[in-house]
Each structure stands twice: as C-alpha cells, then as structure tokens.
Amino acid sequence: MLVCASNPSSAIQRLAPELLSEVFLQCLSEDETSSMRHFSRSPLLLGRVCSAWRTISHSTAALWTHLTIGEDFHTISRPDYTKDGVAMWVWIKRSRSLPLSVRISFGRSARRSDFTEQSLETLLMIVQSQSSRWKRLDATIPVIFEGILITPFCVKNVAMLENVAIRIWGTWPSGGRMTELKFPLSAAPRLRYFDLLAESNVRVIFDGPAHDIKCLNFLHRYGVKTHQADLMECLTYCTSLSTLSFHLHPSSPHGFHAILKHTYLESLRLEIHLACDLGLLFHHLVLPALTELILEMDEDEEAVLDWPHLLTLLKYSRPPLTSLILIGRIPMTETTLIECIKYTPGLRIAIVSGVRCTDTTLRAFTVDDSDSSTILCPSLQKLNLGIESRFSRAAVEELILSRWGDHRSKSYSPPVPRKELAELWVGYIPNLHDISSDPAIAVCISEGFRLGSEG
C-alpha cells in the first residue's frame, strides 16, 4: 500500500508537473489487488494529498490503466457492483486510449448469489467493451460468465493482448450452453503468454499464420477433445514456444509429412490418455532444447505391456534434460526406463511415480568409482521412484553411500562430481527406520541427506 508523508517537502512540491507525473507512475503496482474504489489505490491516494496532486493524478492516464473486479479485491462486507461500474467508467475515461491491464477474480469461494445480479453482468460487459485495449488479462470466473470474456477472442477484437491467464470453473446447469466457444490463436497476434485452465468448452484453433507466442499452458479437463493433430499444428505454427502444456485425448493416428524440429521448446508437459498412440507423434518430433519434461497419464484399465514412446523421443532429440517427471500409471518397463535415463546425462531431478522399479534401477544409479564411464546422471540431486517400486535395504544403502557428498559447505564450494544426490524417495519399505538408523546412513542424514518413503 502506498503511504504518503503528512507534510510533503517543499522540494517535491516545486517539481514540474511532468516530473511529478513520472514520480507518481513509480507508485503503481503490477499486482494490484484492491478495489478500484478503495482509497489505497495509487491514483486515489495521491489525489488526497492536495488539489495540485489531484489534478496531476487525474491527468496522468497511465495511473488509471489497472482495472480490478471481483470479491477478492473488496474490503467491504458486501460488494456493490453498481458503484463498481461507475468507478470503472471513471478509470476507463481517465486512462484515455492506453492499453489496459484487467484482473477479475470470482473463485469457487465467491457467493453464488452474486452471479445472478444483473449489475455484475453489466460490469463484466463494460470490461468486454474495452477488449480492443486489453494488454494483460488475468481472470478467474465461473463458467456462466465465460462467454463474456471469450467472445472478444472469437470476433478477433483482442489485437493488443500480450499476456493472458484465464481460469474457468464449474459446469453449466442442465440444459445450459454446450456448444464450443472457439477462436484462432491468430486473433491475438501480440500474445506472448497464454494460460488457460478450463472445465468448459473453450477451444483454441491453430490455423496459422506463424505465431511468436512463448508460453502456452492448456491445463484443463474440459469437454473439448484435443488430439495429436492439434498438438502438431500448435508446434508447427508456434515455432517460438519455450514452454508448452497440452492435454491429449485418444484419437486415430494422423499422417505427418515431415520431422518437426522445435529448437526453442525448453519445457513440455503432456497430459495423456493411455489410449493415445504417441508412436507416430514422437517419431516425428525432435526437441533438442528440452530441459523439463512432464508426462502425466490418466488411469486406464487397458492392458499395455510397455510404453516405448518416451525412449523414441529422447533417442531422436538427445535433449539437455535436467528434470523428468512421470505421473500416473505409465506402462513402462523398468528396462525401458533405464534406457531412457541413459539419454539424459544432465538430469538433476527424476520423479517416476508409475513404473514398478526394483533393485535393478537402484543399481543402475549407484556410482561405481572404479568405472566412471558407467555412471547414470552424474549431476542427479533428487530421485523419487514412487509407490509402485520395491527395494531391498542393501540396494538403498548402497545407492546413498555411493552418491552422497557432504553438502554442508555447498554454498562455499562446488559439490563433488557424482556426489550431488541430496534427496531419495522410494516405495514402501517396512524397514525404512532401520535404514535411517544405520550408522553410515545416519551420518548422511545428519549432514543434510533426505530419505523418505512414498508408502
């Protein structure tokens, strides 16, 4: 919150209005969370100091470009959306034609009775009317209001948008709207960051031309079925992507005409239904810059003996992967997992929750100081092998003692090569306490090593 001195110095009072205006702009917060009617907001508080400051505040358009709507921004017991609408028009007028940053927050804890108020819908329609000026949009809304925010995308009236985070929650009442709200990504040519978390039927179309978006997160489980073809179109037209999260549903394999090499993608997260056949996709995808990979597989009763697609991707891409996270019951054999790890020598974090690992996996990670050529992931710091795994006490102890170096002085000197492992999580081990009590292991734990069980 901005706080002004009770007696402003004569020096600042003598500053030219143009300089005072620049000083005022430094009082703005990019993460404003209070109501536009609250006196703590920068332009309102500045205007309370004196008439001269009020005049300068009112004439400094950039002070009025951050619009906030929602219960989370109110400090009063009962929001008054009619008054908010009046305040909204004041801010819009004083911001002139400058780009707007809009924050809307109606989370699951909001009062349901407010959602039926006409004044609230009118307020959101005011926001919609300024969509051509949106630069940043951060919105958490129930599904009944999704059309108000998504329509400007559908009619391509969001040309100035650069940063978007939309979270849509809830489901339509029986008999409510079930049709898709779809729009092309090209509707927002300046967009660089797009985060969509939706439980509804919002669909983004990748139909060209090439787009320079950097970060695209579609973490949703909505009615729209996104398939491999959607993902490939996304990667084809969004060639500057560095971060991508996507949800894949079962579909028939599609023919891909050429290998797609995506040179900028560093972080990829895929939520996958087991019925997805990713063989063709991963045979045509090369990701040489990938440093983080998260694969999450939905539960499915279909029996699959092995899932070799990750191995195919890593073999073709040879990425500088530092973090590999496999979530869910990925039907990968222990042998295939170890082969995958061989293509990730720079790995620092490995979390594998659904593969049934045994002592064979632990021995593969165990360091043999007499033969450094066989060491897997020499920079490994965290290893979590999930609840499906079962290990012997001897294998666990051998791994820890071979990988642990005294990290207490890590801030003053670099860690010992091949001795960076600081955290090990394993499946259920009934004698975990006995392992921790072993004198040699106890020393490692006292020095900072973490040993835990997922069981």
Higher pLDDT, 323 or 44: 323
- For 70, phi and psi rounded to 5 degrees? 135, 160
In the 8-state DSSP scheme, what is residue 36? Answer: T
User: Is the pLDDT at 44 greater than 60, yes or no?
Assistant: yes
Least confident among 24-28, 130-134, 136-140, 205-209: 24-28
- CA–CA distance, 370 with 441 (Å, rounded to integer): 22
Per-residue three-class SS string for 267-298: EEEEEECCCCCCHHHHHCEECCCCCEEEEEEC
Task: Report pTM.
Answer: 0.85
In-domain check, residue 304: no
The pLDDT value recorded for residue 202 is 80
Give 231's pLDDT tier (boundaries 50, 70, 90).
Answer: confident
- CA–CA distance, 229 with 237 (Å, rounded to integer): 12
Averaged over 211-234, what is the pLDDT?
A: 80
- CA–CA distance, 52 with 163 (Å, rounded to integer): 35
> In 114-225, at which residue ranges do the beta strands (DSSP E only) sit?
134-142, 163-169, 181-184, 193-198, 202-205, 215-218
Domain range enclosing 36: 1-64
In-domain check, residue 142: no
User: Is the pLDDT at 416 greater than 80, yes or no?
Assistant: no
- CA–CA distance, 304 with 355 (Å, rounded to integer): 13
Least confident among 96-110, 233-247, 336-350: 96-110
Give 78's pLDDT tier (boundaries 50, 70, 90).
Answer: low
Cβ atoms 355, 324 nearer than 8 A: no
Question: Which residue, among 62, 78, 53, has the nearest Cα to 29 in the 3D structure?
Answer: 62
In-domain check, residue 41: yes
- CA–CA distance, 323 with 243 (Å, rounded to integer): 14
The pLDDT value recorded for residue 76 is 46
User: Is the pLDDT at 221 greater than 80, yes or no?
Assistant: no
* Residue 104 CB contacts under 8 Å (≥ 6 apart), including other chains: 68, 69, 70, 124, 127, 138, 139, 140, 141, 149
The pLDDT value recorded for residue 13 is 65
Averaged over 250-272, what is the pLDDT?
A: 82
Task: Tally the domains of the chain.
Answer: 1
Q: What is the DSSP string of 77-136?
A: SS--HHHHHHHHHHHHHHTTTS-EEEEEE--TTS-GGGGG-HHHHHHHHHHHHTGGGEEE
Give 225's pLDDT tier (boundaries 50, 70, 90).
Answer: low
Cβ atoms 123, 85 nearer than 8 A: yes
> How many C-beta atoms lie closer than 10 Å to residue 112's C-beta?
9
Higher pLDDT, 172 or 63: 63
User: Is the pLDDT at 368 greater than 50, yes or no?
Assistant: yes
User: Is the pLDDT at 174 greater than 50, yes or no?
Assistant: yes
Give 226's pLDDT tier (boundaries 50, 70, 90).
Answer: confident
Cβ atoms 242, 213 nearer than 8 A: no
Averaged over 63-86, what is the pLDDT?
A: 74
Least confident among 1-10, 232-241, 256-265, 283-292: 1-10
In-domain check, residue 242: no
- CA–CA distance, 283 with 134 (Å, rounded to integer): 40
The pLDDT value recorded for residue 242 is 97
Cβ atoms 155, 182 nearer than 8 A: no
Angle at CA 39, nearest 5°, toward 160 and 32? 35
In-domain check, residue 30: yes
Ramachandran assignment for 166, one of left (phi > 0), alpha (psi -120 to 50 degrees), beta (any other):
beta
- For 93, phi and psi rounded to 5 degrees? -65, -45
In-domain check, residue 26: yes
Give 256's pLDDT tier (boundaries 50, 70, 90).
Answer: low
* Residue 225 CB contacts under 8 Å (≥ 6 apart), including other chains: 249, 251
- CA–CA distance, 258 with 370 (Å, rounded to integer): 45
- CA–CA distance, 179 with 70 (Å, rounded to integer): 27
In-domain check, residue 1: yes
In-domain check, residue 309: no
Burial of 83 (0-12, 13-18, 19+ CB in 10 A): middle
Least confident among 64-68, 111-115, 164-168, 422-426: 111-115
Give 176's pLDDT tier (boundaries 50, 70, 90).
Answer: low
Torsion, Cα of 16, 22, 27, 32 (10° steps) = 140
- For 149, phi and psi rounded to 5 degrees? -85, -30
User: Is the pLDDT at 222 greater than 60, yes or no?
Assistant: no
User: Is the pLDDT at 234 greater than 80, yes or no?
Assistant: yes
The pLDDT value recorded for residue 414 is 58
The pLDDT value recorded for residue 32 is 64
Least confident among 61-65, 68-72, 157-161, 221-225: 221-225
